[in-house]
Amino acid sequence: MIVNFGSVALDTTRTPFKTAEDVLGGSGTFFGLAASFFHETGLIGVVGDDFPNEYMQLLEDRLDLAGLVVEKGKTFRFDSSFGYDLGTRTTIRTDLNVFGRWEPTVPDEYKDAPYLYLGNIDPEQQLGVLDQMDEPELTVADTIELWINTKKDRLIEVISRVNGVVLNVEEVRQLCQVPNIIKGARTILDWGADFVVVKKGEHGSILFTPETIFPTCGYPLEEIVDPTGAGDAFAGGFMGHLARKGKMTDKAMREAIVYGNVMGSFAVERFSVDRFLELTMEDIEGRYRKYKEMVAF
Amino acid sequence: MIVNFGSVALDTTRTPFKTAEDVLGGSGTFFGLAASFFHETGLIGVVGDDFPNEYMQLLEDRLDLAGLVVEKGKTFRFDSSFGYDLGTRTTIRTDLNVFGRWEPTVPDEYKDAPYLYLGNIDPEQQLGVLDQMDEPELTVADTIELWINTKKDRLIEVISRVNGVVLNVEEVRQLCQVPNIIKGARTILDWGADFVVVKKGEHGSILFTPETIFPTCGYPLEEIVDPTGAGDAFAGGFMGHLARKGKMTDKAMREAIVYGNVMGSFAVERFSVDRFLELTMEDIEGRYRKYKEMVAF
């Protein structure tokens, strides 16, 4: 099982073309839905008692929810907007609500899971989950600007204890205080990570290990509807493929990066998680093959 | 022979780390030096009588200069600056000088050349050169924001008469008035081009034809010294490889795009054209092979 610790949120997403209010979002949601195509995935998270039944049913259909807690209060809410090129997100409001004061508990049946994803949550909470697990074979962590600004030491502690981190370009630059991402990735490897994946949005992603660099381009899309969740869906495809392969060879890692790109490209084609609700494993394998043909030379 | 119509300039380039004044630059210079590694290249351009002998000697060592004219007056000067991430150029001053009032003449011995590159010069001058040529097998054109703003109709006429165009992302968006580059590329193909190459700087480049999309990532670099000329060096590697192959198959086009990325990556490693002065064909083939291994999965 992949244990997925992340947020379940109600997102308000404003684009010049449409605004979607209080729709299903959160890093745990996007990661989980993407990963679940590849491998059984369990969710550790918390929602408020206002969380819609419809969304709960949707998650239950796809994920193991032994680690999802419903607490009295309001669900985490995230309100953001995009400009015409859908390139840059502006955060309007982040209300952690029940997530802010929560101390996560790992269900007993999750503790010996071989795969652990620590979504972009407070590093203290990430460490809390890590401490409760036995020894996962593969742990991957994400973060956001907020924790780089406010809890950098704890975040570096997380990085020193996981196998890999999945960050976007801006996060690498900010965390490592260096504009060049190769240098940034090297700093993160020095902190103890075995690998670093730098996500570049539409421009693809790069895998760094101490031995290798694997740069990839993004899957070209003509219509981008809502970039929300692309990074988490990337991580879900990446870990999902590694879990189903059951090994972390250089070849499996490279394939996993491309599956990550593929899942990220699906995520942005509809608002919220809508694209994943109609997606099939055939669609995923088809786009992977198409990508592979496209980039061949 | 590749006939290369482009500017020869004296650049002043300001980065936070160093300022280089009145150093050799220009689209014809960067294209020509890059292309000359692959195939004989002749230059059509004009300089003033202040053009340093040292630079003239450098060009003469590598290019056929039958089309290079020295006129009374000052050489084209371009003054620009970059910020800390070396990502965005700010133009401080452009003095066309002798280039502005010049009507290019194609030497008789260039007229039946099979390959023609029209650098980012005034579309009227591009059309002037095109009119004097017999029928080149392959003509590729570039442009800049200035001509999109001031001579769009003439530019579209150029596009309708050439085989391919090589533009950066911002130019495609501005020219086609659409944020999505796939849609933009389709518009340009509709105007009559057989192919469009969209350059994305450090993020690589994408080849569009009516049948295919070939996205590539950039060659990852740890040190970027001066991005000036990267796009022209890209075009030089791209056309240079096509010229030496002597055919325009899908495979040759894809390889040419990667050689373009490789030549662009060399260009930015030193100020001005300095990297090309110490470069060998072995370095180029070595980086091509390294790139190919790097992106394999």
CB A6, CB A120: distance < 8 Å? yes
Region of poorest pLDDT, from B30-39, B79-88, B160-169: B79-88
CB contact under 8 A, B215 and A214: no
Q: Using CA atoms, how far apart are residues A242 and A254, in angstroms rounded to an integer?
A: 10
Report, as an integer, the average pLDDT of A195-214.
97
Closest partner CB to A217 (pick from B180, B212, B216): B216
DSSP B182-213: HHHHHHHHHTT-SEEEEE-GGG-EEEE-SS-E
pLDDT tens-digit profile of B239-295?
999 999 999 999 999 999 999 999 999 999 999 999 999 999 999 999 999 999 999
Assess whether pLDDT exceeds 80 at residue A112.
Answer: yes
Q: How many CB pairs under 8 A join A and B?
A: 79
Chain B residues with CB under 8 Å of A212 CB are 294
Number of H helices, E strands in chain B: 11, 13
* A 80-119 → B contacts, CB under 8 A: 84-86
CB A280, CB A74: distance < 8 Å? no
CB B151, CB B37: distance < 8 Å? no
| Average pLDDT of the residues of chain B | 96
Tokens of A198: 């730098």
Assess whether pLDDT exceeds 80 at residue B96.
Answer: yes
Closest partner CB to A213 (pick from B214, B220, B258): B220
- Whether residue B293 lies within 8 A of chain A, CB to CB, comes out as no
Q: What residues pair up with B94 in beta bridges, in sequence order? A: B78
CB contact under 8 A, A180 and B222: yes
Assess whether pLDDT exceeds 80 at residue B85.
Answer: no
Give the per-residue pLDDT at A16: 86
CB contact under 8 A, B222 and A183: yes
Q: Give the SS3 label for residue B79.
A: strand
Per-residue H/E/C for chain A? CEEEECCCEEEEEECCCCEEEEEEECHHHHHHHHHCCCCCEEEEEEEECCCCHHHHHHHHHHCEEEEEEEECCCCCEEEEEECCCCCCEEEEEEECHHHCCCCCCCCHHHCCCCEEEECCCCHHHHHHHHHHCCCCCEEEECCCHHHHHHCHHHHHHHHHHCCEEEEEHHHHHHHHCCCCHHHHHHHHHHCCCCEEEEECHHHCEEEECCCCEEEECCCCCCCCCCCCCHHHHHHHHHHHHHHHHCCCCHHHHHHHHHHHHHHHHHHCCCCCCHHHHHCCHHHHHHHHHHHHHHHCC
Q: Which residues contact A230 (CB under 8 A, 6 or more apart)?
A: A30, A199, A201, A264, A265, A267, A268
Report, as an integer, the average pLDDT of A208-217.
97
Give the per-residue pLDDT at B144: 94
Identify residue B135 by its one-letter amino acid code: E
If pLDDT is split at 50, 70 and 90, which confidence band does B16 have? confident
Give the per-residue pLDDT at A85: 75
CB contact under 8 A, B295 and A216: yes
Q: Which of A221, A251, A258, A297 to mutate to test the interface with B (most CBs of B within 10 A)?
A: A297
Report in angstroms the alpha-carbon separations of B23 from A239, B14, B26, B51, B55: 50, 11, 10, 10, 9
Assess whether pLDDT exceeds 90 at residue A88.
Answer: no
Report, as an integer, the average pLDDT of B108-125.
97
Report, as an integer, the average pLDDT of B20-46.
97
CB contact under 8 A, A182 and B222: yes
Assess whether pLDDT exceeds 80 at residue A87.
Answer: no
Closest CA to B251 of B212, B197, B205: B212
Give the per-residue pLDDT at B31: 98
Chain A residues with CB under 8 Å of B255 CB are 297
- Whether residue A220 lies within 8 A of chain B, CB to CB, comes out as yes
CA geometry: angle at A82 spanning A58 and A155, to 5°?
Answer: 70
Assess whether pLDDT exceeds 90 at residue A98.
Answer: yes
CB contact under 8 A, A294 and B215: yes
Report, as an integer, the average pLDDT of A169-188.
95
| Average pLDDT of the residues of chain A | 96
Give the per-residue pLDDT at A201: 92
Classify strands A115-118 and A2-5 as parallel, antiparallel or unpaired.
parallel
Assess whether pLDDT exceeds 90 at residue B46.
Answer: yes
Q: What residues pair up with B196 in beta bridges, in sequence order? A: B165, B208
Q: What residues pair up with A167 in beta bridges, in sequence order? A: A198
Report, as an integer, the average pLDDT of B74-99.
90
Report, as an integer, the average pLDDT of A248-273.
97
If pLDDT is split at 50, 70 and 90, which confidence band does A100 have? confident
Assess whether pLDDT exceeds 80 at residue A223.
Answer: yes
Phi/psi for A80 (5° steps) reads: -145, 165
Assess whether pLDDT exceeds 80 at residue A26.
Answer: yes
Report in angstroms the alpha-carbon separations of A18 from A82, A84, B102: 10, 11, 51
If pLDDT is split at 50, 70 and 90, which confidence band does A83 have? confident
Which percentage of chain A shows pLDDT scores above 90? 95
Give the per-residue pLDDT at B87: 76
